[in-house]
Amino acid sequence: MSLKVVILAAGKGSRMKSAMPKVLHRIADKPMVEHVVDAAAALGAQSTVLVVGHGADLVRSAMQDRVEYVVQKEQLGTGHAVEQALPKLDATDTVLVAYGDVPLTRPETLQKLISDVTDSNLALLTVLLDDPNGYGRIVRDETGNVVGIVEQKDASDEQLNIREINTGILAARASVLSELLGRIDNNNAQQEYYLPDIFKLAVQQGMTVSTHHPEFEWETVGVNSRAQLAELERVHQRNQAEDLMAAGITLRDPDRIDIRGELVVGTDSVIDINCVFEGKVTLGENVTVGPNCHISNSTVASGTVIKPNTVIEDSVVGENCTLGPFARLRPGAALRKSAHIGNFVEIKKATIGRGSKVNHLSYVGDSTVGENVNIGAGTITCNYDGANKHQTVIEDGVFIGSCSQLIAPVKVEKNAVVGAGSTITRTVAENQLAFTRAPLKTVDNWPRPVKKPKSE
């Protein structure tokens, strides 16, 4: 028997006040529905069927071929939505029904439901709420067995006092699901085909319903507004922060970190406040990340210090480097061991060799910089001629004086020195001093301009 997951994602989500389908709104920079698809993959589902409706083309564009699709053309309720997926299921399949706007249910919680399914038993995820207002209530008999679910609009005063509610997440055999869905009706306040009605029918046929509770209430929380989206974002970020601290990483404030992808960090690293990590980021051991840094799709080796307000994207940083404050590594930057990149320095598609320093107000792009090079403040590698990019090569031991321009393509060979303020247009040979200087001119007794008085 194989597992198939049906995810309901056809609703518009009018309270989001958005032209975008609700399930595409993001948590940790990933569409909510993708979180659910990832959980299905973690369970080893043979296939995942996404029931789409409003904004179907946008959902398809976002999820591509990760799932199969069926369209619910008319919004006739959750029972009707699941019914649209039945042609994608085999009778012997175990089917998990989940929701594209309930993004944080853990795979281990869902696994409990799946494990309970038999040909004569359905499994349902329920939760006890202090305020169950708005939710369908779980109705049990005097022995505690589930006999049905009643929606709030159809509940009696006594049933409204029940605190155990239906999350909507369930598991059953496909054959059982098909038979029960064929028997539900829309004789209710909303005139919709309610998926929860299958439980009452199942009990009437002598089947049993087992229930499971999640470890955390947030696992069952759905998103219907931007305020709820923001609340779940903070829950998710806090969960990730807790995992990092448990693994031996210091967070100066676990409520002020955002991980929007995959972050792997070595022990004894320290991350200060308001740092954002996007894509796949790896930090080695004993890395220090100062406040307000933004790191995406990059690797930072052990012992490196990243000072405040530094941006690193699609780059590789070696051991014991120092970056910032206010440094920027653009895509293709690679720093070798013990390199120093200082304040207001931008590195793009360039390798900075072991022990080399670019400490102040410089731009190095499309370049290869050797070991133990010192590049002075205000240096620019002029890599773009208006149409094409060109390479600059600076070999080991070179000293580049402040406010120099290196007009690519150009090479500065080993141990050469470029004097401050120079414009270099051709190769500087090994051990040479190269400089360009206009003659100094002076004017004695120069009359300085005087500010004119304002007119009346």
Confidence of residue 454 (pLDDT cuts 50, 70, 90): confident
HEC-encoded secondary structure of 132-157: CCCCCEEEECCCCCEEEEECHHHCCH
What are the residues facing 251 on neighbouring strands? Answer: 271
CATH number for the segment(s) 330-456: 2.160.10.10
Q: Helices 78-85 and 174-181: crossing angle, nearest 10°?
A: 130
In the chain, residues under CATH classification 2.160.10.10 are 330-456
Q: Helices 32-42 and 107-115: crossing angle, nearest 10°?
A: 50
Residues 6+ apart with CB under 8 A from 164: 126, 127, 128, 132, 137, 138, 140
Confidence of residue 453 (pLDDT cuts 50, 70, 90): confident
Confidence of residue 97 (pLDDT cuts 50, 70, 90): very high
Cβ pair 211, 124 in contact under 8 A: yes
Mean pLDDT for all residues in the chain:
96
Distance CA 59, CA 292 (A): 33
Cβ pair 7, 36 in contact under 8 A: yes
Q: What is the pTM of this model?
A: 0.91
With left for phi above 0 and alpha for psi between -120 and 50, is residue 204 left, alpha or beta? alpha
Res 396: pLDDT? 98
Distance CA 300, CA 125 (A): 42
The mean per-residue pLDDT over the stretch 165-190 comes to: 93
Q: Which CATH superfamily is domain 3-220 in?
A: Spore Coat Polysaccharide Biosynthesis Protein SpsA; Chain A (3.90.550.10)
Label the pairing between strands 316-317 and 47-52: unpaired
Min mean pLDDT across 13-17, 312-316, 414-418 is at: 13-17
Beta strands, E only, 227-377: 250-251, 257-265, 270-271, 275-283, 288-289, 294-296, 299-300, 305-306, 311-313, 316-317, 322-323, 328-329, 334-335, 340-343, 346-352, 357-360, 363-369, 374-375
What is the residue whose two structure tokens read 């799932």? 67
* C-beta atoms surrounding 214 within 10 Å: 20
Q: Is the pLDDT of residue 456 over 70?
A: no
Distance CA 42, CA 438 (A): 68
Cβ pair 269, 289 in contact under 8 A: yes
The mean per-residue pLDDT over the stretch 125-142 comes to: 94
* C-beta atoms surrounding 222 within 10 Å: 16
Cβ pair 47, 88 in contact under 8 A: yes
Residues 6+ apart with CB under 8 A from 122: 170, 171, 172, 176, 198, 199, 202, 207, 208, 209, 210
Give the CA count within 13 Å in the CB-facing half-sphere of 391. 8
Res 189: pLDDT? 74
Confidence of residue 397 (pLDDT cuts 50, 70, 90): very high
Distance CA 186, CA 192 (A): 5
Give the CA count within 13 Å in the CB-facing half-sphere of 193. 18
| CA dihedral angle for residue 141, residue 170, residue 99, residue 48, rounded to 10 degrees | -170
Cβ pair 397, 370 in contact under 8 A: yes
Cβ pair 296, 302 in contact under 8 A: no
For residue 95, what is the enclosing H or E element?
strand 94-99
The mean per-residue pLDDT over the stretch 381-410 comes to: 97
Rg (CA), the chain: 31
Res 407: pLDDT? 98
What are the residues facing 257 on neighbouring strands? Answer: 275
With pLDDT > 90 as the criterion, what percentage of the chain qualifies? 92
Which member of 25, 35, 213, 360 is catalytic? 360
What is the token pair recorded at 34?
């993708």
Res 216: pLDDT? 96
Question: What are the tens digits of pLDDT across the range 185-238?
Answer: 988 778 889 899 999 999 999 999 999 999 999 999 999 999 999 999 999 999
Cβ pair 51, 81 in contact under 8 A: yes
In the chain, residues under CATH classification 3.90.550.10 are 3-220
Distance CA 282, CA 298 (A): 7
Question: What are the tens digits of pLDDT across the range 299-342?
Answer: 999 999 999 999 999 999 999 999 999 999 999 999 999 999 99
Question: What are the tens digits of pLDDT across the range 69-84?
Answer: 999 998 899 999 999 9
360 has catalytic annotation: yes
What are the residues facing 362 on neighbouring strands? Answer: none
Question: What are the tens digits of pLDDT across the range 236-294?
Answer: 999 999 999 999 999 999 999 999 999 999 999 999 999 999 999 999 999 999 999 99
With pLDDT > 70 as the criterion, what percentage of the chain qualifies? 100
Pure H helices in 166-225: 174-181, 197-204
